[in-house]
Amino acid sequence: MREITLSKAVNEAIAEEMRRDPCVFVIGEDVAEAGTPFKVLSGLVEEFGTDRIIDTPISEPGFMGLAVGSAMTGMRPIVDLMFGDFLFLVMDQLCNQAAKTHYMSGGKLSVPLVLRTNLGATRRSAAQHSQSLHALVAHIPGLKVAMPSSAYEAKGLMKTAIRDNNPVVIFEDKLMYQDKAGVPEEEYLIPFGVANIKREGTDITLIGTSSMVQVAEKAALILEAEGISAEVIDPRTIVPLDEATLLASVRKTSRAIVIDEGHQSYGITGEIASRLNEKAFYHLDAPVCRMGAMDVPVPFSPALEDLTVPTPEGVAALARRLVAGEMLHG
């Protein structure tokens, strides 16, 4: 199977969907000639023109609102939000308008849009360009949240997102754009709400999102050398969440760690851990643990930034203690 970068995978997905459906278009800052600062959309304006790859002024609330109105009236916009940190700017249009329109209208109006943005720290971009804010939108009924962990997921999830008739927020890890993975030539879509077991194991379940899946896989290798068998699962979408797969795994291994790059407190890890606790309680031989990013704004200095995110060694160390039956807290 050919290997392509995550950036190319996203580009392919969008191009294919725009060819398939003339109502799909892209709107955002520097999406046309520039192809976005990350160059993910390069080449699209040449094929589809500036009517369908629309450059906007720096008006996040404005073009988010436009996208909502456009989606309500027959189009299928892909909003490009340059940095996930700008989510705060579009919250009213995304959460008060897009997320609630279908419900408030009793099912008569729909908002089939995709908000494409990113997450991920350790790029030395400092606090306002490094956040992973998917928990904020996962909390809002009416939105769906997808988190591709590789080029393969990125293409498959993006295609589904575009065809889904709801507002979907899709977060790519900006550190992964040049990472390659096997991506079939033939068309494929990845359904929402279906987790992927990346590696089978028996002693502990490691649930990771986005690039934390790779962190979990590396931890699993470290643990394997020590005779500990870790199962690694990628939920792929946070909303909807494939609880059944996660629960089946934890019932098998009786131990779990949830790893996510959002802040540790009040985030994705807490929600997933809580569900595992509730629904797999009598199968737990160790407390379900969370590993998120440190509860600090992302620091600029390289010496500090790298301390704030989960690492394979950190995950392996915690897994070791849980498998040994150590009492972490008195």
Partner 1 sequence: MAQAGKATAAKANSEEYLRMYTQMVRIRAFEDQANQLYLSAKMPGLTHMYSGQEAVAVGICEALTVEDKITSTHRGHGHCVAKGAAFKEMFCELLGKEEGYCRGKGGSMHIADQSNGNLGANAIVGGSMGIATGAALSAKQLGTGAVAVCFFGDGATAQGLMYEVMNMAALWKLPVIYACENNGYSEYTKTAEIAAGSLTARAEAFGIEAHTVDGQDVLAVNALTQDLVARARKGEGPFFMELMTYRYHGHHVGDINRTYYRSKEEETLWTSERDPITRLGDWLTQEGLVAAADLEAIRAEVAEDAEAAVAYALAAPYPDGSEVDMHVYAATDPATLQPGA
Partner 2 sequence: MAKPHEVIMPALGMAQETGILVRWLVEPGAAVTKGSPLIEVETDKAVQEVEAQADGFLSDLRAGAGDEVPVGEVIGLIVAAAGDVTEGSGAAEAEAEPATATNAAAPNTQEETSVSTKSDTNIKSAHNDAIHPLDPSGRILASPKLRRMADDAGLDLALLVAHGHPQPYHAADLDLLRQLTQAAAEDLAADLAAGPATGPAAGATSGPALGHISARVPAAPCDGFLARMREDAGLDLAPMALWASFAASALRAATAPESPLVVTAAVLGPEGFAPTTALSNPDLARLSVQPEAPEGATPSLILRDLTASALTGLRPASGLAAPALTLARDRNGGRNGGSDGDSLLVALDYAADQLDEDAALAVITGLAARLADPLTYLV
User: Greatest CA separation found in the chain?
Assistant: 63
State which of residues 1, 2, 141, 327 lies at the interface with partner 1 (CB under 8 A): 141
Measured CA to CA in angstroms, residue 95 lies from 55, 77, 216 at distances of 23, 16, 32
Q: Single out the segment in contact with partner 1 by CB under 8 A; choices: 2-10, 94-102, 211-219, 241-249.
A: 94-102
| Contact predicate 257/319, CB 8 Å | yes
Nearer to partner 2, 73 or 282 (CB): 282
In the complex, what is the shortest distance from the CB of residue 105 to partner 1, in angstroms, rounded to a whole number? 5
Interface with partner 1, residue 178, by CB under 8 A: no
Smallest CA-to-CA distance from 311 within 217, 194, 235 is with: 217
- Single out the catalytic residue among 17, 60, 172, 261: 60
129 is catalytic: yes
Q: How far apart are CA 51 and CA 54, in angstroms?
A: 6
Nearer to partner 1, 166 or 211 (CB): 166
State which of residues 132, 166, 205, 237 lies at the interface with partner 1 (CB under 8 A): 166
Interface with partner 1, residue 185, by CB under 8 A: no
Q: Single out the segment in contact with partner 1 by CB under 8 A; choices: 7-15, 67-75, 125-133, 313-321.
A: 67-75
Please give the radius of gyration of the chain, using alpha carbons only, rounded to the nearest integer: 20
Residue with tokens 């939000």: 81
Burial (CB < 10 A; 0-12, 13-18, 19+), residue 189, is middle
Interface with partner 1, residue 88, by CB under 8 A: no
- For residue 295, the partner it binds in partner 2, partner 1, none, with Cβ less than 5 to 8 A by kind, is none
Interface with partner 1, residue 61, by CB under 8 A: yes
- For residue 307, the partner it binds in partner 1, partner 2, none, with Cβ less than 5 to 8 A by kind, is none
Interface with partner 1, residue 96, by CB under 8 A: yes
Cβ neighbors of 244 (< 8 A, separation 6 or more) are none
The count of residues in the chain is 330
60 is catalytic: yes
- For residue 283, the partner it binds in partner 2, partner 1, none, with Cβ less than 5 to 8 A by kind, is partner 2
Q: Single out the segment in contact with partner 1 by CB under 8 A; choices: 39-47, 164-172, 250-258, 293-301.
A: 164-172
State which of residues 66, 126, 248, 294 lies at the interface with partner 1 (CB under 8 A): 66
State which of residues 36, 70, 117, 132 lies at the interface with partner 1 (CB under 8 A): 70
Residues catalogued as catalytic: 60, 129
